[in-house]
Structure 1
Amino acid sequence: MANDKPARRPRAETPKGFRDYFGAEVTERKAMLDAITGVYHRYGFDPLETSAVETVESLGKFLPDVDRPNAGVFGWQEEDADWLALRYDLTAPLARVAAQYRNDLPSPYRRYAMGPVWRNEKPGPGRFRQFYQCDADTVGASSVAADAEICAMLSDALEVVGIPRGDYVVKINNRKVLNGVMEVAGVLDPSDPGRFEDERGIVLRAIDKMDRLGEAGVRALLGAGRKDESGDITAGAGLSEAQADVVMGFVSAKRESGAQTVARLRELVAASAIGLEGVEELETIAALLAAQGYGPDRIVIDPGVVRGLGYYTGPVYEAELTFEILDEKGRKRQFGSVAGGGRYDDLVKRFTGQAVPATGVSIGVDRLLAALRAKGRVGVEAAGPVVVTVMDRDRMADYMAMVGELRAAGIRAEMYLGNPKNFGNQLKYADKRGAPIAVIQGGNEAEAGVIILKDLILGAKIAQSATLEEWKDRPAQVEVARAGLVAAVQRMLAQ
């Protein structure tokens, strides 16, 4: 007789790069998203939910900062040969919607969306393959007033979730200004956009690393290249000293005021028509924001913002949190970016063949939640439900009636559904659930028409206190009439 081995049990673990979210985390995220979407709604934006799955053709080669077509997506092929993939962001699906329903949607179309997105990338500490985004976009508006509105709305959203002024800044730049700098530096030929493409990529990535590498490190990348501490060499753009001076002048163009910064940018790109167009757009955005009361304490023009090398076509913006936190080694560092976006006028064109202006922002939900936790602005343990204990199996209907009355009054409540034989286990369960109150009624209490309310929060405080003196006027357990259950629970919760 064959010695059949039992089937191998599956391992109870999440796939690498994924995680589970439990009660408090889900509640915190929902509360934050509700606050953000309240701001979006106030600005006149409508919600949109799209499928988590798109055709690979629809997604296209538009994953920001990834050079390989369709890189970074979870994809599979259907039997009819169509390739499908999980969405990697919320913008690519919007472009498809804007093209598919262009005759039905208002123009401009303002929408906000939120939900999980998936990236088929190597996971790392704090870097997951599934994460949440919260986006707001305007499709069909060529005026930079739409960009100014997005920046104002982003500022309001950060403040409404608990990031006060002084703890954040929204930075604005313009890809047209960057292109103008490239043209003046001799690495952009307007008559042949494909020329010097590799050099431009190196220059833009170098600018983006200014905070980390400093002026010397960036200048090295603009020239022959840079050797890091490990001895590895990163190839440079091969610019001459004169060309590098133009780029470094742009990197250091930020001045004390937005007007001074714009004036300096105008000097740098004076010989470039596209650069001057970008400067004028920045001036207009600054004026529109100032008219609404958004000053440099919230929104600034910053030439150091570089986003989406092959993606954005005009204004770009980034929300950075400026307060310090401690990293895993106990070192102080600024929290950094939690949101970014910009104008992407070529995305819908893939479907329609016609240029469709669009601009928008994406908030990194998990990063923003982490920032709020670091500041102690979320993470307070949510109160669990009032737990109605079960003393007599044959009186289940009575206990369910109590739960029903509490729920009808808007009080979160549940009946203990485990084995009621051990009452101590019921109280342990209530404690694990974070229950504020346990409702108790045995046979004697039922005959007398009363119930016992046990204040579990107060009981825990008394257990931790060295003296009962401060609690002597407030009993941890009270007896009340059965008819007064709801009112008594409401009073105890209010305390």
Structure 2
Amino acid sequence: MTETKQNAPSRPLARSPRGFIDRRADALLAERSVVEKVLRVYETWGYERLETPSFEYADALGKFLPDQDRPNEGVFALEDDDGQWMSLRYDLTAPLARFAAQNWDSLPKPFRRCAAGPVWRNEKPGPGRYREFWQCDADCVGSARPEADAEAIAMGAAAVEAAGVPRGLYVVNVSNRKLLDGLLAKIGVDVADTTTRLGVLRAVDKLDRLGPEGVELLLGAGRKDESGDFTKGAGLGANAIGQVMAFTSTRKATRLETLAALEAVVGDTALGAEGVAELGAIDATLRALDVFEDRAFFDPAIVRGLEYYTGPVFEAELLTETLDEKGNKVRFGSIGSGGRYDDLVMRFRGERAPATGFSLGVSRLVAALSASGRPPEAAQGPVVILALDSEAMAGYMQMAGELRAAGIAAEVYLGSSGMKAQMKYADRRKAPVVVMEGSQEREAGKVTLKDLNLGAQLAQSIVSNEAWRRERPAQVEVPRTQLVQAVQDMLKP
């Protein structure tokens, strides 16, 4: 009895979860290449590598989580068999705070650590915005000196350049949360009114994306986006909104001029004066490190939306433009950020442990480099040995073994197609070299090597198929005993 469509077993639809993507060799190599370059920069500044688990107990992530029974808004959480909630890490900073508190007595202080790995956010995905992505962080725990913040800024700039962004095509914008806190006190917002304070911080943080009009709406009653979703605002009055917007416009032509403007706006408040003084010390240190306005600038509009920042904050911005799917010019914007978070370790220890750091968004940076025409190095596939004679498979396998023993990635074609399809397979595998041995070559003790990389370059100057066949570019015949040496010579840069 044949199975009908009605009672046929249903098949799952092959699909990726929203906000998650598959990465093949090129993308993986690009990301890992950036990660290693950036980590090497961090290490040259004295930062120690550290790897923490992907999962943390939900209470260790602290203020990221909503106050409800199942803490799964913003993070991906599950309940352990002992009734404790665990969450995939939201970033690499909260796990560092837990690690530092857990190992405080044995750590050198300040404790400098660097780390790289995936993080997960249970947020609405969008173009270029994923629920899983890589970060590469460096943090200094145990120093309250503004020089530590300046070091993070200078090191972040060096990391961006090492990743492949030329000087002049990025800038690290720097501010201090104390400046805005001083302004809020000046306009009558109680420091204990965390709802209003955070509403203002998050609104100003969206200035580059929503523009002044959008931020003014979020400072007031609220804003409805294109989808119809409404975001409640901070609830400020018109006069207070005007003062906040004026504060975001104090950026001047130089860091020193910006400091003078800030002194005039918030220098008469205790917190504002403290913030200006800290930026002044940061400026002096940056100049000592030869980091000038072309690499780091003071921009009071930078506040960062995350709640744990307590002082200086900074954001690395990519200045190059690219085209979106509609052909419009767009900027990638932020590719890294950081700041001071003196209260994060205190959640565990009950006493302040000053800390500051910089985080580079690896996945976003790689996407930006590719879109702007400067992609990281592409992955190269293995040498492919064609299977032209099914009875000679043992010999083909031996060739692959000899190449691998010499440190060369190699594989034998294991399908059942003919030579044309095998060459197409090698091309799709991005093989740099193809090895061919038919019966005549085997009898003569020779193999034919085809340099696919050189062949692709030469093909651009070949004007006809006849010339191609006559010149047989990038193809050589060598003794079988010289296979490894000949392939090594072809692979030399």
Q: Does 1:279 align with 2:276?
A: yes
Q: 2:157 aligns with which of 155, 158, 162?
A: 155
Match of 2:30 in 1: 28
Shift in CA distance, 262/402, structure 1 to aligned 2, threshold 3 Å: same
Deviation (angstroms), 1:149 = 0.8
Q: How does 1:14-413 map to 2 (within 5 A)?
A: 14-62=16-64, 71-188=73-190, 193-195=191-193, 197-215=194-212, 218-219=215-216, 221-222=218-219, 237-240=234-237, 242-378=239-375, 381-413=378-410
CA distance 1:490–1:231, shift in 2 (3 Å): closer
Q: What CA distance in whole angstroms lies between the structure 1 residues aligned with 2:224 and 2:480?
A: 78
Q: Does the aligned pair in 2 maintain the 1:335–1:371 contact within 8 Å?
A: yes
CA drift of 1:181 comes to: 1.0
Residues 175 and 403 (structure 1), Cα distance of their counterparts in 2 relative to 1, 3 Å cut: same
Q: 1:215 to 1:55 in 2, by over 3 A?
A: closer
Aligned to 1:484: 482
Partner Cα separation in structure 1 for residue 380 and residue 226 of structure 2: 50
Between 33-42 and 431-440, the greater mean CA deviation after superposition: 431-440
1:318 is displaced (CA, Å) by 0.2
Q: What do the CA deviations read for 1:316-351 (whole angstroms, capped 9, x no partner)?
A: 000001111112221112221111111111111111
In 2, Cα distance between equivalents of 1:216 and 1:423: 63
Q: Shift of the alpha carbon at 1:409?
A: 3.0
The 8 Å contact of residues 249 and 268 in structure 1, kept in 2 or not, is answered as no
Q: Is the 1:62–1:311 contact (alpha carbons within 8 Å) kept by the matching residues of 2?
A: no
Alpha-carbon separation, structure 1, partners of 2:413 and 2:230: 64
Residues 212-221 or 96-105, more deviating: 212-221
Q: Quickly say closer, same or farther: Cα 1:368–1:404, change in 2 above 3 A.
A: same
Correspondence list, 1:436-455, <5 A: 436-455=432-451
Q: Is 1:434 equivalent to 2:436 in the alignment?
A: no
The separation in 1 between residues aligned to 2:394 and 2:206, in whole angstroms, is 66
Equivalent position amino acid for 1:422 in 2: G
Q: d(CA) in 2 for partners of 1:491 and 1:411? A: 12
Query: Structure 1 residues 328, 394: closer, same or farther in 2, change over 3 A?
Result: closer
Secondary structure in 2 matching 1:360: strand
Distance 1:75-1:227 versus aligned 2 partners, 3 A rule: closer
Matches of 2:443 and 2:120, distance apart in 1: 59
Return the alpha-carbon distance in structure 2 between the equivalents of residues 341 and 413 of structure 1.
43
* Post-superposition offset of 1:158: 0.9
Amino acid at match of 1:360: G
Question: For residues 231-260 of structure 1, what are the alpha-carbon distances to aligned partners after superposition, in whole Å with 9 as ceiling and x for unaligned?
Answer: 998665554555344323311111111111
Paired residue secondary structure (1:371): helix
Paired AA for residue 171 in structure 1: N
- TM-score computed with the length of structure 2 as normaliser: 0.90
Aligned partners of 1:317, 1:242: CA distance in 2, in Å? 28
Count matched residues.
486
Measured at CA, do residues 227 and 42 of structure 1 come closer, stay the same or move farther in structure 2, by a change above 3 Å? closer
Which range moved further: 328-337 or 31-40? 328-337
SS in 2 for 1:351: helix
The one-letter amino acid paired with 2:413 is Y
Preserved contact between residue 111 and residue 142 of structure 2 (Cα < 8 Å): yes
Aligned residues: CA RMSD: 2.9
**Seq. identity, %:** 53
CA offset digits 1:205-248 (Å, max 9, x no partner): 33233335544554555456668899998665554555344323
The alpha-carbon distance between structure 1 residues 413 and 284, as it changes in their structure 2 partners (threshold 3 A), is same
CA contact (8 A) 2:34 2:376 kept: no
CA distance in 2, matches of 1:398, 1:226: 70
